[in-house]
Amino acid sequence: MYKNLFSLKSRNLTHTGEKPYLCAVCGRGFRQSSALKIHMQTHTGGKPRVCDICGKCFGTCGDLKVHKFIHTKEMPHMCCICGKGFRYALSLKVHTRTHTGEKPYICNICGHAFLTYSHMKTHSLVHTGEKLYLCSACGKGFVTNKDLRRHGLIHSANKPYMCSLCGKGFCQKSQLEPHMMKKHSVQKAYICRVYGNGYPENKL
């Protein structure tokens, strides 16, 4: 039996999926007013829970608890298939899909499937042509942050990929092999994974 009418009402909302308490800022719904109150702290910036190890502040006890796993190295969520541990339940859920092959997020333009919503959202930029990641040095735009980081090497003085035949350095691995094939008539180049140097494959 339920202790009071409030407990019964909350239980019924769980079954119906109804979320009558709406956030006035973002419109997100909640089953209980207490949950809405906690959520509002994400908009107001209120973070009353403080980590006693590093002093970082959090809005909820749950967020603080998860944060402390970083200090304790605890991985409470374990994959029952391979045994790999995760700090977050969501991370485990996504990881499990690598075993099951499930890709629930489908691009409505080309039908390509993805493990996570964020991957699908990034992919959708290919269709829209949006380039949200801008280079601070030259202003060139890129679809993904990974592409931006790779491009950033062009502006860097660091050129880790070195041609063993002429000593010329390159920012990216993809630039070294074409150089060796075009300038030195190398049919195929081997790029050292440790030092980044390029060698004619027939010289190894």
Cα radius of gyration (the chain): 26
Please provide residue 132's backbone torsions phi and psi, each rounded to the nearest 5 degrees: -80, -20
Highest CATH level, class, for 103-156: alpha beta
- Taking residue 189's Cβ as centre, other Cβ atoms within 10 Å add up to 20
At 137-162, the pLDDT tens digits run 899 998 888 888 888 877 877 777 88
Strands 21-22 and 169-170: unpaired
Superfamily name and number for 1-32: Classic Zinc Finger (3.30.160.60)
- Taking the C-alpha atoms of residue 192 and residue 62, their distance in angstroms, rounded to an integer, is 46
Question: 89 is written with which tokens?
Answer: 């339940």
pLDDT tens sequence across 41-77: 777 666 777 888 888 888 778 888 888 888 888 888 8
Q: pLDDT tens digit string along 87-125? A: 888 889 999 999 999 999 999 999 999 989 888 988 888
**Domain range summary for the chain, segments of one domain joined by +:** 1-32, 49-100, 103-156, 161-203
Rounded to two decimals, the pTM is 0.47
